[in-house]
């Protein structure tokens, strides 16, 4: 079995809980530009990040430079008064709009926030929700004279804290338009309540299941199971906090991982308590006491002011009919998320101005090339992203670039090649990296190529560390009477091939040295990219995953906020006035592939099970070494039947080391 070097992020906490994420910024000196070094070769294959760093004495592409003005801060969006000319143009555009794009006056925008939320734009054949489209719908609805308000259905979410904060920020800013935003939550926990509490009113049915019990982080360990079947994992974990590989190599959490996860837990829970207490006008201690009392009756939530009232969905819609002045016997006039996503901002008079800013989105696991059946939205395909980066770099029409990252990492070579291209891009125009839920290991590798990094307060980032491993199957082979012989030439030729015997001492030494070298390369390149000494970076590396706010205080991130914050900084660096409109050009806009079209048809007409669609996406995107951040498996398993959980668990184990 081939050896594989893994640069993984720490476990993604499995929970239905949420976090309060407020925005603050911390600025660092801008990185000056120098000559770029030649591309670095990465001699190992890795997952969830890339290796390779500048050699000793090699000049850094971007070193610390002169101090710059403080980084600006920005809300999600600001509703401004449109001029009479613009208002007239909007009315004319609405009159000539085709029937399938028309929205009746007095309509209520309805959106159901449930399940997975992608950071990519979706095509009409795609299933699921898109964060940029959700956020844009809030902004459009704030300006749209046909929309009286928003009715949000909030149900169990599979997104992380970064996306939750971005959506919550848009809910808060939408309320400033003077229009209503009403929430309805039949099922939910802390994460769902975190969003719902931002609504002006929140309703739940009398039979609602709202569990506000606290936050947990879970890890599972398979070392004992593997030993029983005769499989011995050979793990070299470089970085005291690197938890990748622990699922296979350990039977319990290490003290360092407990420390790291405990700090993340404190960040999330503390921020959630802060936001909920601020929203309700109560002390933090009162909110914590209420949670610790173990409330399970939805009536108690109403009594204590956590929700507005107990009403069924039809009752809420009847109430909204009266609010918008709809007196007929028909159902509430609504426009849903899907249809409203097709309304263009330019139709409402809020399109961009003359200056163009490119938006490059990078979501999912990183691979170098794309297989013939890959779904376009299945991950980051380096060769495709590099083409887009070069197109933007070679064009003079783009004044700046926002690199939006939502990735736990991936192939080492792919990450390094993209790092190189992003550095070249940053040498020609301002590049701002904007992190979503996670930008760790390979995701952070991409981000650190940009001179400025923006993260949400609870983005998972960092994870600068490696783990290398292979399976020794000697005992398993003996049990099933399986025999394997290898002919080889070269002292270490069998290092990657021989799984029927333990490593020799000299092989084990080389095995460890290879991992140590990869860690040093990753750490050194991170130090160079963030203008730190190696000793400074060593304090923040060691495989540790940081929250965005902790990363900012340590210089791994420059500013806290969402996409709008990154846009404000991009304007500043491009010398564009903050009050001047710009046009955002989506470079990574998806085009539907045949598997995606078939998957969309199957999901809408045949009711294909989400697990089958997930496996289709996994299988069609495989090309070389693949893996995900530890724990994403269990995030996906939460709402699946037992047999599907077992299927995915077996699939994860068999694919873990390639």
With H, G, I as helix, E, B as strand and everything else as coil, classify residue 405.
strand
H helix or E strand, kind and range, residue 124: none
Scanning the structure block, which residue is given the tokens 């490696």? 466
**Which tokens go with 160?**
């992380």
| Cα–chain center distance at 229 | 36
Residue closest to 440 by CA, chosen among 382, 366, 505? 366
User: Quick one: how many helices (H) and strands (E) in the chain?
Assistant: 23, 26
Query: Which of 507, 445, 524 is CA-nearest to residue 47?
Result: 445
Continuous H helices in 229-332 = 246-249, 255-280, 284-292, 298-303, 313-324
CA 464 → CA 28, 541, 604, distances in Å? Answer: 21, 5, 41
Among 9, 148, 407, 441, the one annotated catalytic: 441
* Active-site residue identified among 140, 179, 191, 242: 242
Rounded Cα gap, residues 238 and 515, in angstroms: 7
Given a contact cutoff of 8 angstroms between Cβ atoms, the answer to whether 563 and 406 are in contact is no
DSSP annotation of 333: P
DSSP annotation of 57 reads T
C-alpha to C-alpha distance for 455 and 317, rounded to whole angstroms:
37
Other CB atoms within a 10 A radius of the CB of residue 480 amount to: 9
Q: Which helix (H) or strand (E) holds 655?
A: helix 642-655
Helix (H) or strand (E) holding 435: strand 431-440
Determine whether 441 is an active site residue. Answer: yes
Under 8 Å between Cβ of 403 and 624? no
Tokens 């995953």 correspond to what residue? 545
* Three-state secondary-structure class, residue 558: coil
Q: CA angle 131-135-140, nearest 5°?
A: 145
Q: Sign of dihedral through CA atoms 526, 532, 538, 544?
A: negative
| Residue 298: C-alpha distances to residues 80, 200, 206, 214, 464 (Å) | 39, 19, 7, 16, 44
Give, as one character, the DSSP assignment of residue 193.
H
Q: Any idea which residue has 């600006």 for tokens?
A: 72
Q: How far apart are CA 223 and CA 249, in angstroms?
A: 5
Only one residue has tokens 């001699």, namely 43
Strand partners, 407: 439
Query: What is the C-alpha separation between 185 and 211, in angstroms, rounded?
Result: 11
**Other beta carbons less than 10 A from residue 612's beta carbon:** 13
Q: Is the CB of residue 266 less than 8 Å from the CB of residue 258?
A: no
Strand partners for 395: none
d(CA 143, CA 134): 15
CA distances for 134 relative to 44, 187, 341, 548, angstroms: 40, 20, 8, 23
Active site residues: 242, 441
């Amino acid at each position: 079995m081939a050896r594989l070097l893994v640069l993984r992020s720490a476990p993604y906490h499995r929970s239905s809980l949420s976090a309060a994420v407020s925005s603050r910024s911390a600025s660092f000196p801008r990185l000056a530009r120098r000559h770029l070094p030649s591309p670095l070769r990465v001699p190992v294959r890795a997952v969830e990040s890339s290796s390779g760093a500048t050699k000793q004495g090699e000049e850094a592409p971007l070193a610390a430079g002169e101090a710059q003005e403080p980084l600006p801060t920005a809300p999600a969006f600001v509703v401004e008064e449109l001029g009479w000319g613009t208002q007239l143009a909007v009315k004319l555009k609405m009159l000539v709009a085709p029937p399938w794009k028309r929205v009746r006056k007095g309509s209520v925008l309805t959106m159901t926030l449930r399940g997975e939320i992608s950071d990519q734009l979706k095509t009409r054949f795609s299933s699921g929700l898109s964060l940029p489209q959700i956020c844009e719908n809030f902004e459009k609805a704030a300006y749209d004279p046909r929309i009286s308000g928003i009715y949000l259905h909030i149900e169990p979410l599979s997104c992380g804290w970064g996306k939750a904060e971005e959506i919550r920020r848009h809910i808060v800013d939408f309320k400033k338009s003077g229009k209503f935003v009403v929430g309805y939550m039949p099922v939910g926990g802390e994460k769902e309540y975190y969003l719902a509490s931002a609504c002006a009113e929140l309703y739940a049915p009398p039979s609602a299941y709202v569990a506000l019990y606290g936050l947990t982080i879970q890890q599972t360990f398979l070392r004992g199971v593997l030993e029983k079947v005769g499989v011995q994992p050979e793990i070299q974990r470089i970085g005291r906090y690197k938890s990748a590989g622990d699922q296979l190599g350990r039977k319990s959490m290490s003290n360092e991982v407990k420390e790291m996860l405990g700090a993340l837990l404190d960040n999330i829970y503390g921020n959630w308590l802060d936001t909920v207490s601020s929203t309700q006008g109560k002390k933090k201690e009162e909110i914590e006491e209420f949670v610790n009392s173990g409330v399970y009756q939805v009536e108690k939530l109403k009594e204590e002011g956590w929700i507005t009232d107990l009403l069924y969905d039809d009752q809420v819609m009847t109430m909204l009919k009266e609010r918008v002045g709809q007196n007929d016997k028909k159902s509430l006039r609504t426009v849903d998320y899907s249809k409203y996503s097709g309304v263009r901002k330019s139709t409402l008079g809020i399109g961009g101005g003359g200056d163009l800013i490119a938006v490059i989105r990078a979501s999912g696991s990183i691979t170098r090339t794309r297989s013939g059946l890959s779904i376009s939205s299945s991950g980051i395909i380096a060769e495709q992203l590099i083409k887009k980066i070069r197109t933007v770099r070679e064009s003079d029409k783009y004044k700046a670039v926002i690199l939006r990252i939502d990735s736990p990492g991936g192939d080492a070579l792919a990450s390094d090649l993209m790092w190189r291209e992003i550095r070249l891009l940053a040498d020609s125009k301002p590049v701002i990296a904007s992190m979503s839920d996670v930008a760790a290991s390979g995701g952070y590798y991409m981000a650190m190529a940009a001179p400025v990094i923006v993260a949400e307060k609870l983005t998972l980032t960092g994870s600068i560390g490696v783990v290398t491993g292979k399976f020794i199957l000697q005992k398993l082979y003996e049990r099933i009477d399986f025999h394997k012989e290898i002919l080889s030439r070269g002292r270490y030729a069998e290092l990657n091939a021989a799984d029927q015997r333990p490593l020799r001492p000299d092989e084990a030494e080389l095995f460890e040295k290879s991992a140590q070298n990869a860690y040093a390369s990753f750490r050194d390149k991170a130090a160079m990219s963030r203008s730190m000494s190696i000793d400074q970076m060593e304090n923040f590396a060691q495989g540790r995953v940081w929250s965005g706010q902790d990363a900012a205080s340590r210089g791994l991130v420059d500013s806290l906020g969402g996409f709008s914050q990154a846009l404000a900084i991009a304007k500043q660096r491009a010398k564009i006035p903050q009050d001047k409109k710009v046009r955002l050009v989506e470079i990574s806009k998806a085009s539907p592939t045949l598997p995606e079209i078939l998957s969309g048809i199957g999901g809408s007409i045949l009711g294909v099970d989400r697990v089958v669609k997930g496996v289709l996406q996994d299988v069609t995107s495989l090309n070389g070494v693949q893996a995900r951040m530890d724990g994403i498996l269990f995030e996906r398993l939460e709402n699946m039947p037992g047999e599907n959980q077992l299927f995915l668990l077996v699939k994860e184990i068999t694919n873990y080391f390639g």
